[in-house]
Amino acid sequence: MEINGHTRLCGLIGNPVEHTLSPAIHNTLAEKLGHNLVYVPFHVEKGYTDDAVKGAFGLNILGLNVTVPYKSDVIGSLVAVDELAEKIGAVNTLVRCEKGYKGYNTDILGLYRAMCSEGIKIEGEQIVLLGAGGAARAVAFLCAEKGAEKVYLLNRSLEKAQAVAEEVNSICGRECISPMITADYEKLPDRKYLAIQGTSVGLHPDSDKAVIEDAGFYQKIHTGYDLIYKPAETKFMKLVKENGGCAYNGLKMLLYQAVIAYEYWNDVQVPESVAEDIYEVLKSRVAV
Ligand code: ATR
């Protein structure tokens, strides 16, 4: 692609941004869809997010992704925030509008699209959610919003699980989330669950660990979804499969959070065949 006077710019703000896969996704999307668009990472120092967002608007930048540690900080620099992103309290995508940027959380929309694409249902389900950090908290909101019957939120420290449950239940107006300490997993009612792994345990290079390693727990899981995508098969996924369940990693979530951001910025629908091509690119990049 030739960079010329019509080239639109998108990018990522965060710190660090050096290992991001987003440029590979967005620049491939632009190439495949024939858009004159370039996506670059911007390393933003602490205390400069507001300058970065205002400067981006001044430079006519079409859209930005936001990564750690600025997903909450950036909200104060926006002119509008999507309803679900506001509930979650974190945005990862800024879409240019008339007077500034509107914030969305395509991480969570991407997870939902990824789950739908795998035929995984949330509505009416009994779910075990592992973790109570930023990622798991967003998943708890998604589950409550999409009509999960019950979410058992298991965390190493009970206080954090309780705080997330209280917040989500109060915002969503129903007692959907039940907090538990992970050590009490044997007390889960005897039935089959969808389990979503939202802790950082098992992440490369600590890939020989899972937050629960007892086969008895995994016998209760019909489907396991790990938000981690490196390694491609986590210990959690192995244990789910060994005990008869289906298991998925977080790579499609990564793919679809980018696809949705790209769709918002360019007002297009990315064809599924293009998304599948990008997924192959991602798989090869993660395998390195
Ligand atoms: P993220 O933004 O990726 O969610 P985070 O907010 O730091 O990251 O949350 C990390 C999650 O992984 C938390 O639920 C954390 O449990 P605590 O709240 O008890 O700290 C969980 N976690 C991290 N290391 C863990 C470990 N060794 N065993 C169990 N849980 C762990």
- Chain segment 258-281, per-residue pLDDT in tens: 999 999 999 999 999 999 999 999
**CA 133–ligand 1 middle distance (angstroms):** 6
Considering all CA atoms of the chain, what is the largest pairwise distance in Å, rounded to the nearest integer? Answer: 63
Nearest atom, ligand 1, residue 227 CA: 3
Mean pLDDT of 236-247: 98
Whether the Cβ atoms of residue 15 and residue 46 lie closer than 8 Å to each other = yes
Give the angle 245-240-253 at the CA atoms, nearest 5°.
90
Q: Which residues are catalytic?
A: 71
Same fold? 8-104+252-286, 109-249:
yes
**CA 247–ligand 1 middle distance (angstroms):** 21
Mean pLDDT of 23-45: 98
Residue 234 identity (one-letter amino acid): T
Residue ID of nearest Cα to ligand 1 atom 3: 135
Is the pLDDT at 19 greater than 90, yes or no?
yes
Residue ID of nearest Cα to ligand 1 atom 12: 199
Mean pLDDT of 68-76: 97
Probe ligand 1: pick from 73, 108, 156, max atoms within 8 Å of CB? 156
Is the pLDDT at 288 greater than 80, yes or no?
no
Mean pLDDT of 93-111: 97
Residues with CB under 6 A from ligand 1: 131-136, 155-157, 160, 199-201, 211
d(CA 142, CA 164): 13
Q: What pLDDT does residue 48 have?
A: 98
**CA 135–ligand 1 middle distance (angstroms):** 9
**Residues 122-160 as b or e (16 or more Cβ within 10 Å = b):** beebbbbbbbbebbbbbbbbbbbbeebebbbbbbeebeb
How much of the chain, in percent, has pLDDT values that exceed 70?
A: 100
Whether the Cβ atoms of residue 9 and residue 55 lie closer than 8 Å to each other = no
Q: What pLDDT does residue 238 have?
A: 98
Can you give the residue ranges of every domain in the chain?
A: 8-104+252-286, 109-249
CATH number attached to the domain at 8-104+252-286: 3.40.50.10860
User: What confidence tens digit (pLDDT) does each residue in 116-155 have?
Assistant: 999 999 999 999 999 999 999 999 999 999 999 999 999 9
Q: What is the DSSP string of 26-60?
A: HHHHHHHHT--EEEEEEE--TT-HHHHHHHHHHTT
Nearest atom, ligand 1, residue 135 CA: 4
Residue ID of nearest Cα to ligand 1 atom 2: 134
Is the pLDDT at 14 greater than 90, yes or no?
yes
How much of the chain, in percent, has pLDDT values that exceed 90?
A: 98
Where does the pLDDT of residue 220 fall: very low under 50, low under 70, confident under 90, or very high at 90 and above?
very high
Where does the pLDDT of residue 160 fall: very low under 50, low under 70, confident under 90, or very high at 90 and above?
very high
Whether the Cβ atoms of residue 97 and residue 80 lie closer than 8 Å to each other = yes
Is the pLDDT at 1 greater than 90, yes or no?
no
Architecture of domain 109-249: 3-Layer(aba) Sandwich (3.40)
Nearest atom, ligand 1, residue 157 CA: 19
Strand partners, 115: none
Residue ID of nearest Cα to ligand 1 atom 25: 201
Q: What pLDDT does residue 287 have?
A: 83
**CA 183–ligand 1 middle distance (angstroms):** 14
d(CA 141, CA 112): 11
Q: What pLDDT does residue 213 have?
A: 98
